[in-house]
């Protein structure tokens, strides 16, 4: 992909590219230190992220890769090499407590909430290992919604818009949270 840098002056300002991997092998799931190798050196013009279509831990989850600028700090506390690259999202310790609050009691766990425009919230559980160099962070966000979110972001980018603009919200996949 670095070859894009040599011809980048011929691309429009909104040019973007992404990488798609077919599968994260089970043998690599526990190798969190591998995340740092996904940061391209030197940076690739227009590369915004990518997608890992599947992982043997859970056939329903996909991993969305995102590259973002770091604030120039010395790195992130997320850089721990013992953090796995993936966890089964159906087994994450994310739930609704008796008061109706979403509890995220999982290292690297998260949730994306989407309103239905009325009074309901839908949730997609996520597991997001992150690695930051001094200049760039790479986030690998695993969820049942990973493929859909990647596709929606790509549609916005094809139209020259920001990846999370509200143009497209259809096709999302949501999870059921246990009550505890």
pLDDT at 84 over 80: yes
**162 CB contacts (<8 Å, ≥6 apart)?**
156
pLDDT of residue 169: 59
pLDDT of residue 168: 56
pLDDT of residue 98: 92
CA distance 168 to 107: 30
pLDDT at 179 over 80: no
Q: Range with the lowest mean pLDDT among 35-49, 52-66, 137-151, 163-177? A: 163-177
DSSP 73-115: -S--GGG-TTS-S---GGGSSEEE-TTS-EEE-STTEEEEEEE
Q: What residues form DSSP beta bridges with 94?
A: 104
Average pLDDT over residues 107-129: 84
SS3 category, 56: coil
95 exposure class (CB count in 10 Å sphere: 0-12, 13-18, 19+): middle
For the chain, state the CA radius of gyration.
17
The verdict on pTM exceeding 0.85 is: no
pLDDT at 94 over 90: yes
Average pLDDT over residues 58-85: 79
| Alpha carbon 71 to chain centroid, angstroms | 19
Which of 140-144, 150-154, 158-162 ranks highest by mean pLDDT? 140-144
Q: For the chain, give the mean pLDDT.
A: 84
Q: Identify whether the C-beta of residue 103 lies closer than 8 Å to the C-beta of residue 89.
A: no
Average pLDDT over residues 67-95: 80
pLDDT exceeding 90 applies to what percent of the chain?
31
């Amino acid at each position: 992909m670095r070859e894009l840098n040599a011809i980048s002056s011929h691309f429009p300002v909104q040019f973007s590219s992404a990488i798609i991997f077919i599968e994260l092998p089970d043998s690599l799931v526990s190798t969190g230190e591998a995340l740092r190798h996904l940061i391209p050196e030197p940076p690739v013009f227009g590369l915004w992220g990518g997608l890992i279509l599947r992982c043997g831990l859970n056939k329903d989850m996909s991993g969305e890769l995102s590259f973002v600028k770091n604030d120039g700090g010395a790195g992130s506390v997320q850089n721990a090499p013992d953090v796995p690259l993936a966890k089964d999202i159906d087994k994450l310790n994310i739930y609704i407590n008796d008061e109706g609050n979403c509890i995220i009691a999982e290292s690297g766990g998260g949730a994306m909430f989407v309103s239905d425009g009325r009074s309901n919230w839908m949730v997609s559980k996520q597991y997001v290992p992150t690695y930051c160099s001094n200049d760039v962070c790479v986030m690998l966000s695993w969820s049942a919604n990973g493929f859909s979110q990647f596709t929606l972001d790509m549609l916005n980018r094809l139209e020259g818009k920001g990846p999370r603009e509200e143009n497209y919200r259809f096709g999302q996949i949501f999870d059921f949270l246990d009550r505890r």
